[in-house]
Amino acid sequence: MPVFSHAENYNHEQVVFCRKDEVGLKAIIAIHDTTLGPALGGCRFYDYASEADALRDVLRLSRGMTYKAACAGLNLGGGKAVIIGNPRQAKSEGLLRAFGQFVDSLGGRYITAEDSGTSVADMDLIRQESSHVCGVSKFAGGSGDPSPVTAWGVFHGVRAAVDEVYGSPDLAGRRVAVQGVGNVGMHLVRYLHEVGAQTVITDVDSDRLKQCSEEYGSEVVSLDAIYDADVDVFAPCAMGAILNTNTIPRLKAKVVAGGANNQLDDLTVHGQMLQDRGILYAPDYVINAGGLINVYAELKHMPREKALRDAESIFHTLKRIFSLAKERGITEAQASNLVAEERIRTISTLSSFQRGGL
């Protein structure tokens, strides 16, 4: 895979390949843009089919973090890391601490946090080798698991999208398909249940499905059948690139609004396909910014309550993006990019001593 051309396509500043055979570490850290501040983004631990797939994922994810921070109004840049391997089999103290050493070698240009396949406990281990990590446990001086805040932001993003399509943000009686009931998806199902929404769910974890079904009355369907569910909202909360030429024509929902990253397989082609079908899309890096808002609050030593309140503002950010898309005759994905790029462009004109910092 041509590494430099791929990094250039996404305008990355730095891509770091990390390897320590003694502990089985193979990782990639991607720093996309530090105009607004240090690059912050989670560390994903995943058993990629190939190293090329891992590189593609980390490049896309880190770029998304730049745009996420910009739209959320945070003084942060965009970065991401991936560790290649099965987290249930390959994860160890030595591997995580070795990864922490690589993070530390970047001198604060990249700040890591938890993501799919990593946990608060993992961040505590990484913290032993570097101070450039957040999302650590409360015992270690952190804010703990950010997923409740991520889900809270997604919940308010769903309200904004439903308000745009149906004329009211009220979710009582609405049917929502939640694809993936991991940490974020499970909290989202709970929030939806509490306001009277009905949920249709799927996941690879049968225990999670059983818990949701018993606690929240969720309807369980197979992994593939979720695309055909008769619902008002489709909420992807698992892996990315699931909205594509094959799946979009199957959707019955009029709204796509969920917590997964990089939901569109191709931003331009599939963003337009959703619009052509009359489906409103809540751009993923906008609606799922609650986790980033949470760790930023941790860095600023602000309480969880402040993060939750700030995550509610995702409602208004999305409404602005929906309005801009209609005004310009463009897709919601294109509109959110314009909002992010305008903020980055504005801040880049300021001298370094004028910029906000951590």
Which residues are 257's β-sheet partners?
none
Q: CB of 298 within 8 A of CB of 304?
A: no
68 included as an active-site residue: no
Residue with tokens 């390897």: 19
Quote the CA–CA distance of 113 and 136 in Å, as a whole number: 8
Name every residue whose Cβ is closer than 8 Å to that of residue 207 and which is 6 or more positions away in sequence: none
Q: How large is the greatest C-alpha to C-alpha distance in the chain, in angstroms?
A: 58
Question: Whole-angstrom distance between the N-terminal and C-terminal Cα of the chain?
Answer: 36
Quote the CA–CA distance of 200 and 214 in Å, as a whole number: 13
- Ranges assigned E (strand) in the chain: 14-20, 25-33, 39-46, 77-84, 110-114, 175-179, 198-202, 219-220, 233-236, 255-256, 280-281
Name every residue whose Cβ is closer than 8 Å to that of residue 30 and which is 6 or more positions away in sequence: 7, 12, 14, 15, 16, 58, 59, 61, 62, 79, 80, 81
CA atoms lying within 13 Å on the CB side of residue 91: 17
Q: Which of 80, 252, 254, 326 is catalytic?
A: 80
Helix axes 93-105, 120-127, angle to 10 degrees: 60
User: Which residues participate in catalysis according to the annotation?
Assistant: 80
